[in-house]
Amino acid sequence: MSSTPDGTTSDTANEEKMRLAAEAVKTGGDDVVIDLTKSDEGVITVSTRPHLSVVSDTQSPNSASELKVTVVVPTLNEAKNLPHVFRGLEKLESLENQNRLHEIIVVDGFSTDDTIEVARSLRPDVRIVHQTRRGKGNALKHGFEAATGDIIVMLDADGSADPAEIPAYIDALMNGADFAKGTRFANGGGSSDITGLRRVGNWGLNTLTNILYRTKFTDLCYGYNVFWKHCLPHMNVDCDGFEVETLINVRVAKAGLKIAEVGSYEADRIHGTSNLNTFRDGWRVLKTIFKERVRRTAKVQVDDIDVEEVAA
| Percentage of the residues of the chain whose pLDDT score is greater than 70 | 72
Question: Average pLDDT for residues 279-308, to the nearest whole number?
Answer: 69
Q: How far apart are CA 108 and CA 283, in angstroms?
A: 25
Domain boundaries, the chain: 11-47, 66-310
How much is the pLDDT for 28? 47
Q: What's the pTM value of the predicted model, to 2 decimals?
A: 0.74
CATH 3.90.550.10 fits 66-310, yes or no: yes
pLDDT of 272:
81
Q: How confident is the model at residue 67 (pLDDT cuts 50, 70, 90)?
A: confident
- Across residues 76-82, what is the average pLDDT? 96
Look over the chain and give the mean of its residue pLDDT values, rounded to a whole number: 81
**What tens digit of pLDDT does each residue of 105-143 get?**
999 999 999 999 999 999 999 999 999 999 999 999 999
What count of other Cβ atoms lies within 10 Å of the Cβ of residue 214?
13
Q: Please give the pLDDT value at position 27.
A: 46
